[in-house]
Copies of this chain bind each other. A is one copy, B any other.
Amino acid sequence: MYGAGDVRVEEVPDPQIVEPTDAVVRVTLACVCGSDLHPYRSTPASATGTPMGHEFLGVVEQVGSAVTNLKPGDFVVSPFAVSDNTCPFCREGFHTSCQHGGWYGAGGIGGAQAEKVRVPQADGTLVALPGDVDEALLPSLLTLSDVYLTGYHAAHMGRVEPGKTVTVIGDGAVGLSAVLASKQLGAEQIILMGRHTDRTDLGVTFGATHVVPECGEAGVAKVLELTGGEGSHVVLEAVGHMPAYEQAFRVVRPGGVISRVGVPQYEDAPVGFGSLFGKNATLNGGPAPVRAYIEDAIPQVLSGQIAPGRVFDAEVTLDDIAEAYRLMDSRRALKVLVRP
């Protein structure tokens, strides 16, 4: 990406093993993330550009001398963040804070919207998949890189469980994933706040029991009405803008949890007596440590228990990736597969 709206496909040298803990992976399926749209809309023009993409399935081509869990030919899924899976923070389940972690497209690591990518900390980062997976399941496996497990992280941090009422704010691919994860975790009532009917329809398929298209005061009133005036035990905020946060603390129940996975486009926000403190509301969430959840999710996808890949509604080849950005930026597509 060379600047806002300026996505180019270029020939670059193949990635090589740099550290003995690296692997080089041939990408077989990638996609564009909602978070890729932030730089697509706002990056200043640059002469050097930034490699893009952080979600992929692929086949290991080469491994460094210190890699022991993987071998060339292994079919793998990668979390969107690199982690060693052994540091204290990884052991506590917060791989996105790994002491030896990193991010695709930054710090000398390439992007995954590419034919090949170098994966640092390969033993910790990559998770092997069965080699003979049904082609139809690949999009769902790809969602374990980020989008489904980001929704799952929201629900996990929100402590969704049977008997709980969950309100999901945002009908993007992460919000819909949060609906599906909440359903998996046994939520009784799942209220989806969103106003794009094609998306909220998929949300209903994923398990939403109610859709609230209203925003602002009207939306808050509707959620309170649906919860007997008491508010929602859990609010999963999958937008990241201040109005969504304000909606969240207005609909959360006393003692409830607001779990955020929409990257906040603000730093300061209300947290005092009138918003969170007075009703003992909990605020949490952050960049999803999807590595912590991948191994449990793989059999759920393989068995057909969940089909999170339904968030993909378009596909392009790598050469046409600029079109994928345009489709998502204009909301003509929810999430776009990229096939190198």
Contacts and interface: CB of A to CB of B under 8 A. Distances in A.
Contacts of A285: 277, 280
Contacts of A289: 280
Contact of A286 (B94, B264, B279, B287): B279
Interface stretch (A40-48, A85-93, A137-145, A173-181): A85-93
Interface residues of A, number: 38
A95 to B, nearest CB: 10
Nearest to A153: B280
Given A255-B93, A267-B270, A269-B269, A286 B275 contact: no
A272 B97 CA distance: 15
Contacts of A253: 89
Contacts of A92: 254-255
A107 interface: no
Nearest to A93: B255
A268 interface: yes
A20 interface: no
Number of copies: 2
A278 interface: yes
A93 B256 CA distance: 11
A94 B96 CA distance: 32
A149 interface: no
B283 A97 contact: no
A267 B278 contact: no
A254 B97 contact: yes
Nearest to A266: B272
A222 to B, nearest CB: 20
Nearest to A269: B271
A287 B280 contact: yes
A130 interface: no
A230 interface: yes
A317 interface: no
Nearest to A286: B280
Given A277-B264, A278-B286, A281-B284, A94 B269 contact: no
A274 B89 CA distance: 18
Contacts of A269: 268-269, 271-272
Contact of A230 (B88, B255, B268, B280): B88
B271 A271 contact: yes
A275 B271 contact: no
A269 B245 CA distance: 13
A277 B254 CA distance: 22
A285 B286 CA distance: 19
A254 B287 contact: no
A266 B277 CA distance: 11
A275 B274 CA distance: 21
Interface of A: 88-89, 92-94, 96-97, 157, 230, 253-255, 260, 263-264, 266-287, 289
Pairs A-B, 3 closest by C-beta atoms: A280-B286, A97-B254, A267-B272
Given A93-B255, A264-B272, A277-B286, 4 more contacts: A268-B268, A268-B269, A278-B287, A280-B285
